[in-house]
Every structure is written in structure tokens, then in C-alpha cells.
Amino acid sequence: MKSQHAIEPPRQSGDYSGREVDCLAALRPSVADLVLRFPEALAGAMAGDISSQFAELARQAVKAGWQRNEAEASIRRLSREQEGARGTLFD
């Protein structure tokens, strides 16, 4: 399922200082949206199992100029952040 959010491309091609942070920022809205729509996919993403919804997001990130490995790493990290935020709501 396609994300409702546009994925910003990297500021420049190749490796640069802050690229990881930029990738996180580019994917954060889309991951948050997918977690709301498909909460069952969250646990798998945190464990490294990129579900079909998150796999599609990774494909979109690659089309935007991100490397697949950095997109998937960002998805896993953002999934953990989302889980932490959800846990805070119930504490």
C-alpha cells in the first residue's frame, strides 16, 4: 500500500554527514502513518521482518534516492520509536 506522504530525497548523492538523520526525517511521517493503519506490522518491523507495507515503503524510498539498507534500517529504528511512543501513552 502506497504511503500518503512524499519521501524527500537525500540532499546530495553519495555519503555525507547527516545522511542517516535525513533518511529518518524523510521516512518518519510515512512510518507513523503505516503504524496507525497496520499496527500488527510494527512488531515485525522492530524485529527486522519488513512486512509488505514496510517493504513497499522501502521501495518508495529507493525510488526517492535512498539506499535500500539505509531505508530498512530507518524503518526499523522508527518502528522502535513508534512502539516507545505507544508505550508511553499507556504508562
Q: Does residue 88 carry a pLDDT above 50?
A: no
Lowest mean pLDDT among 4-8, 60-64, 66-70, 83-87: 83-87
**How far is 9 from 46, CA to CA, in rounded Å?**
24
Q: Which residues contact 45 (CB under 8 A, 6 or more apart)?
A: 51, 54, 75, 76, 79
| Whole-number pLDDT of residue 1 | 46
Give this prediction's pTM: 0.81
